[in-house]
Structure 1
Amino acid sequence: MVTVAWEWLDLAVRWLHVIAGIAWIGSSFYFIALDLSLKKREGLPEGAGGEAWQVHGGGFYNMVKYMVAPARMPDQLTWFKWEAYTTWLSGFALLILVYYLQAELYMIDRSVLDLTPWMAVAVSVIGLALGWVVYDLLCRSPLGRDDNRLALVGFVFLVALSYLFTLVFSGRGVYMQMGALIGTMMVANVFLVIIPNQRKVVADLIAGKEPDPKLGLQAKQRSLHNNYLTLPVIFVMISNHYPLTFASRWNWVILAIVLVMGAVIRHFFNTKHKGGKEPWWTWGVAALGLVAIVWLSAQPATPVGEATVPQGYELADVENVVLARCSMCHAAEPLWEGIAVAPKGVLLETPEQIRKHVRGIETQVLLSGAMPPGNITEIEAEERQLLAAWIAAGAPAW
């Protein structure tokens, strides 16, 4: 019963995380598009920087933006913050449930670094905190006055961190950590910069003071950062299901390319919303990035086409490797604590089941090295070579 309850807790938190994320991303995309589509005209209220007309749900909306603040505080004011807070809180709960409580399975790879579970968790938490501090200091430094230079340095900073994490965590753990870090930076922008600055503006209005324009500019800069980071962080979140991303030996390079792809795609839509000439070249850059990712992920640790049959190779040896290294989880009754059913329902206990999932074995064990997770069962290079030779021979039946 405990296992069943744990599974449903995982599902409930994941469901909440996805719903909150949709709400946060939707409002973020909407307000950036709205901000860029504003047009100035004669007769706007004092302090207004532009307006936009929109139609939705059978009605027309007239949106007006005040560059600093209106002349007086409105009677009702909607704050957009809980979408962000709920996304992070549910995401951190998932981080604990899935990764921190199962660090040995999902975060640690002893061929990379021999960590204990508590050490892996400590490095992760410290990494999240330090990552935000460094990013925040960069934004507040003189560099923050030049958006392009700040973006370039921020990109290098994230790529460098992703490489450093490859020296600490498993491939899956690296992507988990980077997704959590980017998400933390985004929600901290809301919690520690955007909302506090808006509260200061509201307080000045209530007190009859003139709000500081810098507060709005700081908030807008952080909001724009969140907008450009959204697509990469979504990619990292769903990459958990695609081992050719996180388990590739070039995973940090793939992540760097994804950061660029996400940025140029958002640049296209942001320019389109602004009404400028649409930069179609961005799609060419994104396409080239995708080609590069596919090529990088296709570089296996054990090239199947060059695999040779080890001396004394027999088909029974293939079955023994799978049973010894994979069946602890991929069994009708998994032996690994915390796993109630075989991942994705894949069973690898009989020759027929092994041949049925030969393409999955090729992807998970050879092309990516994602399985066993963190090489928890210590599969050897020779054993991977044996599986590669069998697959290269056409995966003959027993």
Structure 2
Amino acid sequence: MNDIAVIWDWIGFIVRWLHVVTAIAWIGSSFYFIALDLGLRRDGPLPEGAAGEEWQVHGGGFYHIQKYLVAPAALPEHLTWFKWESYWTWLSGAALLAIIYYAGADLYLIDRNVLDISVPVAILISMASIGLGWVLYDLLCKSPLGRNDTTLMLVLYAILVAMSWGYTQLFTGRAAFLHLGAFTATIMTANVFLIIIPNQKIVVADLKAGRKPDPKLGAQAKQRSLHNNYLTLPVVFLMLSNHYPLAFGTEFNWVIASLIFIVGVLIRHYFNTAHAGKGHPHWTWGAAAVLFVIIMWLSTVPAVLTGERQVSAAEERFIASAHFPAVRDTVMGRCAMCHAAEPAYDGVPVAPSNVKLDTDAEIAAHAREIYLQAGRSHAMPPGNVSGMSEQERRLLVTWFEEAR
């Protein structure tokens, strides 16, 4: 286990696992409290200061929940704060960004046909854009524009559309979608870390000291929480998109990303309305379905811009290797029946994950994946349907380790 690529791949897997688990925890608690808040009963006798209550049943037990807009007469000493789910989701996501996109910038972050930049410059642009996104968002929320929720949301959506297009002019399609998700998720976590939790702590401190809390603190936190609510589903889509080239790898990928934000808002509007007891606006599902059909169509529109991708210095080493002719024969015989512009394998209409291995440059560009999935492991070919031998797998390992 002294191979760096194998160790690094496992580290990426572990961090991805952590990211998914913490994201589930954050989204789950967020959706639960939104549904709880919207479903509170405000009729009938309530304790002094209570704004609503709800009875729930789960796991064989009954729960009686009461909400206080300010605080009960006697504030409890022990409060449960829901914040670490958000923090660890962001921290694990940032680590994953560094492990995959920064450490593998030449492969995953930079597309020299889009913008020919160095790795340090690409990483700097990445970090700066994500950080500046929060600064711009926060300034808008605190400006006079922030007093009108509808206008503010429209301006914020315009910014997201601009970022959707902008990221596709800087990075690979996969990285563009990932960065748009990170841009949005950073705003969401910063809302929790810099606004929602601090405001709530000030309110708690004021109550304990016998002071009347500033109502603006609660209103500000509620506005940011509302934004987080509507941004959640688009972020989940963007984070999953790296597995679906038809989303990120097409000419109109930025339009697809822009429409996904509308789809997410429509779906959340349905559930928010239903949880509030204001009916079931089924039209939202119809509108979301129409938009998704448009997205599917956009993913199949033939690309207008074409051109052969430039070969990097690292890829040139793989092609120049003495083992490459034998590797090419192995890949063509064992992999290219599926991983091709026009797959020959029955039931495979398009190359899986959009990985094509028709040319020397394409084989070299995917050297690391070939090494990990067909050399170091038996993940490919699936079920070894093409009969790759152990000798051929050893050849792939030798080729990659000597040429990298």
Q: Does 1:68 align with 2:103?
A: no
Residue of structure 1 in register with 2:85 after alignment: 83
Q: Say if 2:143 is the partner of 1:141.
A: yes
For 1:349, what is the secondary structure of its paired residue?
helix
CA 166–190 in structure 1, closer or farther in 2 if over 3 Å, else same:
same
For structure 1, the 5+ residue unaligned runs are 304-320, 337-346, 378-398
Aligned residue number for residue 240 of structure 2: 238
Q: Distance in 1 between matches of 2:27 and 2:48?
A: 31
The match for 1:57 is 59
Q: Which residue of 2 aligns with 1:193?
A: 195
Q: What secondary structure does 1:62 align onto?
A: strand
Shift, 1:208, TM fit: 0.9
Q: Is the CA contact 2:338–2:351 (under 8 Å) kept in the aligned structure 1?
A: no
Measured against aligned partners, the alpha-carbon deviations of 1:288-329 in whole angstroms (never above 9, x if no partner) come to: 0110011000112279xxxxxxxxxxxxxxxxx9xx98xx99
Q: Deviations over 1:330-383 (max 9, x none)?
A: xxxx959xxxxxxxxxx97124532244134397279xxxx959x899xxxxxx
* Match for residue 361 of structure 1 among 329, 351, 370: 351
* Structure 1 letter corresponding to 2:48: E
Letter paired with 1:355? M
SS in 1 for 2:301: coil
User: Is the 1:53–1:61 contact (alpha carbons within 8 Å) kept by the matching residues of 2?
Assistant: yes
Distance 1:23 1:348, change over 3 A: farther
Distance 2:73 2:217 in 1: 17
Output the CA distance in 2 between the equivalents of 1:124 and 1:84.
21
Quick check: 193-202 or 1-10, which moved more? Answer: 1-10
8 Å Cα contact 1:107/1:120 also seen in 2: yes
Q: Is the 8 A contact 1:109 1:376 kept in 2?
A: no
Matching residue of 2:16: 14
Q: Is the 8 A contact 2:338 2:352 kept in 1?
A: no
The residue type paired with residue 273 of structure 1 is H
Preserved contact between residue 251 and residue 304 of structure 2 (Cα < 8 Å): no
Counterpart Cα distance in 1 of 2:139 and 2:107: 35
Structure 1 distance, partners of 2:157, 2:252, is: 17
Q: Does the residue aligned with 2:336 lie in a helix, a strand or coil?
A: helix
Map of 1:210 onto structure 2: 212
Residue 44 of structure 1: CA displacement?
Answer: 1.4
TM (norm. structure 2) is: 0.78
2:383 aligned residue: none
Q: Which amino acid aligns with 1:251?
A: N
**1:187-236: CA deviations, max 9, x gaps?**
00000000000100111011111111221121111111111111100000
Secondary structure, counterpart of 1:51 in structure 2: strand
- Match for 2:300: what amino acid? A
**Cα contact 2:110–2:117 (8 A) shared by 1:** yes
SS at match of 2:194: helix
Q: How far 1:27 sits from its partner (Å)?
A: 0.2
Partner of 1:288: 290
Corresponding residue to 2:262 among 260, 263, 267: 260
Which structure is richer in relative contact order (CA contacts within 8 A, separation 6 or more)?
1
Structure 2: runs of 5+ lacking an equivalent = 320-328, 344-348, 368-404
In structure 1, the residue matched to 2:331 is 349
In 1, the alpha carbon distance for the partners of 2:85 and 2:283 equals 33
1:307-322 alignment runs, 5 A limit:
none
State whether structure 2 residue 81 is matched by structure 1 residue 99. Answer: no
Partner of 1:316: none
- Structure 1: how far apart are the matches of 2:167 and 2:86? 26
C-alpha distance in 2, partners of 1:276/1:132?
Answer: 33
Q: 1:353 to 1:284 in 2, by over 3 A?
A: same
Cα deviation per residue 1:75-102 (whole Å; 9 max; x = unaligned)?
A: 2100000000010000000000000111
Cα distance, 1:348–1:80 mapped onto 2, change above 3 Å = farther
- Tell me which moved more, 286-295 or 133-142: 133-142
1:171 is matched with: 173
Judged with a 3 Å threshold, the aligned counterparts in structure 2 of structure 1 residues 302 and 227 are, in CA distance, closer, same or farther, namely same
Cα pair distance change 1:116/1:155, threshold 3 Å: same
Contact 1:13-1:90 at 8 Å conserved across structures: yes
Aligned residue pair count: 339
Q: Partner of 1:309 in structure 2?
A: none
TM-score (norm 1): 0.79
Q: Offset of 1:117 from its aligned partner?
A: 0.5
Partners in 1 of 2:165 and 2:120 — Cα distance? 22
Aligned equivalents of 1:109, 1:75: Cα separation in 2:
55
CA distance in 2 between partners of 1:376 and 1:58 (Å):
52
Distance 1:167 1:251 in 2: 11
1:136-160 deviation per Cα after TM superposition (whole angstroms, max 9, x unaligned) = 1111112222222111111111111
User: In 1, Cα distance between the equivalents of 2:230 and 2:106?
Assistant: 33
Which residue does the alignment assign to 1:110? 112
Contact 1:10 1:94 in 2 (8 A): yes
Match of 2:128 in 1: 126
CA contact under 8 A between 1:69 and 1:201: conserved in structure 2?
Answer: no
SS of 1:350's partner is helix
- Cα distance in 1 for partners of 2:338, 2:121 equals 39
The residue identity in structure 2 corresponding to 1:270 is N
